[in-house]
Amino acid sequence: MIRLQVSENWRTAFCVLALALCQLPVPSHAQGFPGRPIRLVMPFPPGGASEGVARPIVQKAGAALGQQFVLDSRPGASGVIAAEIVAKAPPDGYTLLLATSALFSILPGLSTNLPFDPVKSYAPITRFVLLNNVLVVHPSLPVKNVNALIALAKRKPGQLNYASAGNGTTFHLAGEMFKSMAKIDILHVPYKGGAPAQVDLIAGQVQVMFDSLSTALTPIRSGRVKVLAVTTKQRSPVLPDIPTVAESGLPDFEVSGWFGVVAPANTPRDIVTRLNAEIVRALGAPEVRERLLGLGHVIAGNSPGEFAAFISSELAKYSKVIKDNRIRAD
């Protein structure tokens, strides 16, 4: 009986101690964060379109955080160099990656030996923007909308062609999705970049192209190419009278590039939450919105959980397109 009493006393004392420990405040990793500049690793050379998107956002967010973001360009190997740097960095919130659709949604479907996993190697923070893409044709092509283009392609199987910025690019996959969903046969003509592809479209060497709105806007406005649709879910505020591909007869069609920001896996949740709050707030600032909308982008900030789900869904979608069409990178 005495042994039982001692045992119960110990049990009671243990429960009281455990309850007290549970009520202690949880230490915050975000307390005092950031205490030094934050490095944003960029998978592209300096001065490009990605910097034009990232810089105004992180400048605004950095001002609110009391520390600047340093843009560190590490181009090469289709973005793999930058991705690996961040995947292996300390998970303390001070080294982040500019994540892109090409790097996270497409490249994993084209390569089986990447030194990172787009889902497991990172802690998503938020998406920055969706990149509006457009379906454009040479003005000589006798079509005024998507349905007319599909009808023409069905009348002339294998006789129309579409240009892309290269095998395995977003624009190539958009073309293959379009072919599959519309049940048409058009020839893919890959180029080494979007600029030479656009030059040949304007010259009439190719007839159809999926292109980014930001680069296609000038030839669209000058009449050198004809725009039929945008590829995002919603119409673009830059071209509000142009329908989406989805509302033009292919209801499940949606293709857009995107930029976002991620941290190394295991970055403390409260640091991720702090970064998310300030970056999303920066995306809503009038001067940032005006800059990004002027580039033809869709502002698309979201929560870490929403961004994680988005990355997984995009990866699954494009991996299927790559597998079904046996697409290989250049």
The Cα–Cα gap between 126 and 128 comes to 6
The Cα–Cα gap between 306 and 299 comes to 15
Residue-wise pLDDT tens for the chain (330 aa)?
444 444 555 555 555 555 555 454 545 556 789 999 999 999 988 888 889 999 999 999 999 999 999 999 999 988 999 999 999 999 999 999 999 999 999 999 998 889 999 999 999 999 999 988 999 999 999 999 999 999 999 999 999 999 998 888 899 999 999 999 999 999 999 998 889 999 999 999 999 999 999 889 999 999 999 999 999 888 988 899 999 999 998 998 999 899 999 999 999 999 999 999 999 999 999 999 999 988 888 899 999 999 999 999 999 999 999 999 888 876
- The CATH code that applies to domain 38-131+256-324 is 3.40.190.150
The predicted-structure confidence for 240-297, as pLDDT tens digits, reads as follows 999 999 999 899 899 989 999 999 999 999 999 999 999 999 999 999 999 998 888 8
- The CATH code that applies to domain 147-248 is 3.40.190.10
Domain residue ranges in the chain: 38-131+256-324, 147-248
The predicted-structure confidence for 59-69, as pLDDT tens digits, reads as follows 999 999 999 99
The Cα–Cα gap between 143 and 315 comes to 33
Please tell me if the domain spanning 38-131+256-324 has the same topology as the one spanning 147-248: yes
Q: Provide the whole-model pTM.
A: 0.83
